[in-house]
Amino acid sequence: MVIDVEQEKKEIIGRYRKLLRKAKPVLKEGDARRIKKAFSMAVEAHKDMRRKSGEPYIFHPLAVAQICVEEIGLGTTSIIAALLHDVVEDTDIELTDIERMFGKKVAQIIDGLTKVSGVFEFGTSQQAENFRKMLFTLADDVRVILIKLADRLHNMRTLDSMPRNKQLKISSETIYLYAPLAHRLGLNAIKSELEDLYLRFTDRPVYESIAQNIDDTRASRNKFIKSFMQPIKEELDRYKIKYEIKGRPKSIYSIWNKMRKQNIPFEEVYDLFAIRIIIDVPVENEKAVCWQVYSVVTDFYTPNPDRLRDWISTPKANGYESLHTTVMAKNGQWVEVQIRTQRMDEIAEKGYAAHWKYKETASAHESNLEKWLVKVRDSLAQNDHSALDFVNDFRGNLFSEEVFVFTPRGELKTLPYGATALDFAFEIHSQVGSKCIGAKVNNKLVPINYILKNGDQIEILTSQKQKPHEDWLRFAITSKAKSRIKDVLKEDKKKVAEDGKEIVLRKLKQMKVDPTQVVMEQLREFFNLPSHFDLFYRIGKGIIPASDVKRFKDFKPKSPLKNKPNVRVADAQAIEQEITKIKGRYEDILLIGEDMDIVDYKLAKCCTPIPGDDVFGFVTVSEGIKIHRTTCPNAAELLANHGNRVVKAKWTSQHEVAFLTGLKIKGTDRVGLINDVSKIISEELKVNMSSMSFYTDSGIFEGEIMLYVHDTRHLEQLVNKLEKVEGVVKVSRFDSKVVE
């Protein structure tokens, strides 16, 4: 490839000038000079580096800085940090150099970014640990995470040049951690784009088909919005309210999510778009005018009373404020209308950074988000569980909607939707939570697993004799409650395991067996347990009687597998190297149907992949490699959390094997229908079934059939035939609910 150096230089300068133009409104005296210094340093540091796409590396930091300014609304310090975010890691420049040239604040932010760059390369614990480190930087400066999100967004936008396995891994990490984080920080536009890009790189055919459908319906949608808004516009003009109207379709990801969850086609997603009325009024009149606009909308169209959301009186924890209502249009279609002011709209799109702009005028509005950040810092400070547990708990609290409840003194507390009285108790104090025996909600006694409702007033009842139990983890949903309960249980378990170890050592002494490492390992294998701790705990608890240890005397440890190459199935790299070495192929890819002689693999039960599906291999701890579909319900978590255990895999073209998959059939019941369905399956297409269950209710039938097919083409042919049967309305493939 011939590189036109002069052309590239022009392009770099052009992008830098564009950045300065966007930043101009936020620049103070001397800022432009500092940005220029950072830009020159970055250009010099990255001068010989190129991205996977072949373009100069400097394009990346410039793009990240541009996103920080334009899409998040950050200022000079962030621009400098974004321009320099990779220099410490990739070049000889040190943090001390950056501190000397740009000050302590920039150095701190870059330090935070460097701690979490290259994140997620070394597998589970390392990866989760890095994510926890990234959150720790929240305690110092939230800009670290905002710049990290900008960095991730640009990486996702340019993911086309990456190999397929990297695309899957980076996309899954994005949907698993970064999109929820963007949501929590109120960066709605970025959250939606990250989700859409995730879908584009994990299931391109679905992404493209929804995008095409949105495109095809654009003209009719615009026409509908125009006629829907006409009477509302006339009324708002009469009241002399300044307004702007946006009608935008839902994101591709949210449409796909709805189609998947409700198992419906695109045509049946009724709320494909929302109409947004953005008004321009002084802060002190915001609430009154928003309700006035709501009144105008509902004068013309009937609202659905169950779909009114008032986030103006009580903003969401991420600072989101808006009034949402769903109304019935004249053509019988439900339409979501969002009413908000310009200030609210900017906060909804740009989130956290926009709060600072309005801080003086709206300190109360931003307190919810501040409270959340304080909670994050608290849970980080006190969390000593495995990093993976922490990330999973934390992630669970990122996407949840809120419920607003009151203490006996009338103080408002915000908890995630689905929180229980027990969560509320831990919210007040960990001691109150640990001693909680029940609660009084609106003066009525309720158990600790009572699910809180908006507006509940709660008084917690405690007892000195109470202590946390294992089953508390089933109905505690906040990370604070879960981590406190785990702390107490861990301490209790440790004591029991220590007692168990004493018993084992005593028994081995009686048997005149030395308690060496090898003996302990054989003992663990004898009882078929995952760790020594589990062994000691079960013996200490009496689940395994102490007398059983004596049976171990005659135990013969399993001999290692013969006939198979000695592949250590600890991580993907070892397997890929082994495949390359034995097969003499240049690609490190597992061919399903061919490579059984090299490594063991099984098809995952949670998504029952069949030939033709896009798949990956996953190295499990005890069951060799499992093959999953990239659209498997568990894929995002596996790919995001255990990158080092993912093996590239694809089907070979052999067709003689049959694979188990499931079909759901819905329709209107009639005599002989089941017979017609089974005839097509077993006689016409000669497909073997493993199970079939049908039930009917008020003339509607639903059935689930597990059957053996050769590949996705074979399955499509079967679905097409079944859809033609009289009375059948819908046939769809389903995943089992097994979690691997």
Give the pLDDT confidence score for residue 583 in this predicted structure.
47
Closest-CA residue to 191 (of 402, 403, 399): 399
- 40 pLDDT tier (thresholds 50, 70, 90): very high
| Both tokens assigned to 389 | 């547990």
Report whether pLDDT(150) > 80.
Answer: yes
> pLDDT grade, residue 124 (50/70/90)?
very low
pLDDT range class, residue 90, cuts 50, 70, 90: confident
**Across all residues in the chain, what is the average pLDDT?**
81
Q: Determine how many CB atoms are found less than 10 A away from the CB of residue 62.
A: 23
Q: In sequence order, which residues have a C-beta less than 8 Å from that of residue 147 and are 6 or more positions away?
A: 64, 68, 74, 78, 81, 82, 85, 109, 113
Would you say residue 397 lies in a domain? no
One-letter amino acid of 287: K
Lowest mean pLDDT among 191-200, 203-212, 645-654: 645-654
Q: Which whole number is the average pLDDT over 718-737?
A: 83
Q: How far apart are CA 95 and CA 103, in angstroms?
A: 10
Which has the higher per-residue pLDDT, 9 or 114?
Answer: 9
Closest of 506, 188, 195 to residue 350, by C-alpha: 188
Helical pair 517-526 and 532-541, crossing angle rounded to 10 deg: 70
The reported pLDDT for the residue numbered 573 is 63
| Whether residue 578 is found in the same domain as residue 718 | no
Same domain, 105 and 145: yes
Nearest CA to 524 among 535, 516, 515? 535
The H-or-E segment that residue 157 falls in is helix 143-157
How far is Cα 710 from Cα 319, in angstroms, rounded to an integer? Answer: 51
Q: Helix (H, G, I), strand (E, B), or coil: what is residue 302?
A: strand
Which residues sit opposite 668 in a β-bridge? 700
Point out which residues pair with 661 in neighbouring strands.
707
pLDDT at 673 over 90: no
Question: What per-residue confidence (pLDDT) applies to 584?
Answer: 47
Tell me, yes or no, whether 716 and 665 share the same domain: yes
Assess whether 317 and 267 both reside in one domain.
yes
374 within a domain of the structure (yes/no): no
pLDDT at position 127 over 60: no
189 shares its domain with 299: no
Per the structure, how many domains does the chain have? 5
- Domain annotation covers residue 164: yes
Residue with more model confidence, 570 or 46: 46
For residues 268 and 174, state if they share a domain: no
Q: What percent of the chain has pLDDT over 70?
A: 81
646's enclosing H/E stretch is strand 646-651
- Same domain? 217 vs 197: no
- With a cut of 90, say whether residue 36 has pLDDT above it: yes
Length of the chain in residues, anyone? 740
pLDDT at 121 over 60: no
Confidence of residue 571 (pLDDT cuts 50, 70, 90): low
Phi-psi region of 705 (alpha: psi -120 to 50; beta: other; left: phi over 0): beta
CATH number of the domain encompassing residue 42: 1.10.3210.10
Query: What are the tens digits of pLDDT across the range 295-331?
Result: 999 999 999 888 899 999 888 877 789 999 999 988 8
Q: Report d(CA 613, CA 659) in Å as an integer.
A: 12
Count CB-CB contacts under 10 A for residue 272.
Answer: 19
Do 190 and 254 share a domain, yes or no? no
Alpha-carbon distance of 703 to 695, in angstroms, equals 6
Q: Which residues contact 39 (CB under 8 A, 6 or more apart)?
A: 16, 62, 83
149: pLDDT strictly greater than 80:
yes
Q: Are residues 99 and 221 in the same domain?
A: no
Number of other residues whose CB lies within 10 A of the CB of residue 710? 17
pLDDT class for 680, splitting at 50, 70, 90? confident
Q: Residue 657 above 70 pLDDT?
A: no
Per-position DSSP letters for 189-200, written without gaps between them: HHHHHHHHHHHH
pLDDT surpasses 50 at 624: yes
HSE, side-chain direction, 13 A CA sphere, residue 191: 22
> For residue 114, what pLDDT is reported?
73
Final residue in a domain of this structure, among 181, 210, 239: 210
User: Is position 547 within any domain?
Assistant: yes
Domain carrying residue 12? 5-210
The answer to which of 205-219, 344-358, 493-507, 556-570 has the lowest mean pLDDT is: 556-570
Using the predicted structure, report yes or no on whether residue 645 has a pLDDT greater than 80.
no
Residues 227-236 have a mean pLDDT of 93
Residues 581 and 676 in one domain: no
Mean pLDDT of 5-25: 91
The 3 state secondary structure assigned to 71-94 is: HHCCCHHHHHHHHCCCHHHHCCCC
Non-local CB neighbours of 59 within 8 Å, separated by 6+ positions: 12, 15, 51
610 part of a folded domain: yes
Tokens 């799109």 belong to: 349
Let me know: does 172 contact 636? Beta carbons within 8 Å: yes
129 has pLDDT over 80: no
For residue 185, how many other CB atoms are within 10 A of its CB?
Answer: 27
In a domain? residue 150? yes
- Tell the burial category of 667 from Cβ atoms under 10 Å away from its Cβ (0-12, 13-18, 19+): buried
- Of 489, 460, 452, nearest to 473 by C-alpha is 489
**Mean pLDDT of the region 606-621:** 83
Average pLDDT value for residue range 521-546: 83
Burial class (CB in 10 A: 0-12, 13-18, 19+), 561: exposed
Last-in-domain residue among 333, 348, 366: 366
More confident residue, 125 or 268: 268
- Give the tokens for residue 470: 């294992």
User: Where is mean pLDDT largest: 123-127, 537-541, 633-637?
Assistant: 537-541
Tell me what pLDDT residue 710 has. 77
Say yes or no: 39 and 150 in one domain: yes
Sequential DSSP letters for 441-477: ETTEEE-TTPBP-TT-BEEEEE-TT----TTHHHH--
Beta bridge partners of 704: 664, 693
CA distance 203 to 195: 12
| Residues 6+ positions from 148 with CB-CB distance below 8 Å | 113, 116, 134
Of the residues 651, 680, 712, the one at which a domain ends: 651
Tell me if 539 is assigned to some domain: yes
DSSP string of 675-700, one letter each residue: HHHHHIIIIIS---EEEEEEEEETTE
Structure confidence at residue 366 as a pLDDT band (50, 70, 90): very low
Percent of the chain with pLDDT over 90: 27
Residues with a known catalytic role: 89-90
Diameter of the chain by CA atoms? 97
- Does some domain include residue 464? no
Q: What is the rounded average pLDDT of the residues 270-275?
A: 81
The CATH number of residue 710's host domain is: 3.30.70.260
Q: Are residues 259 and 300 in the same domain?
A: yes
**Whether the predicted pLDDT of 452 surpasses 80:** yes
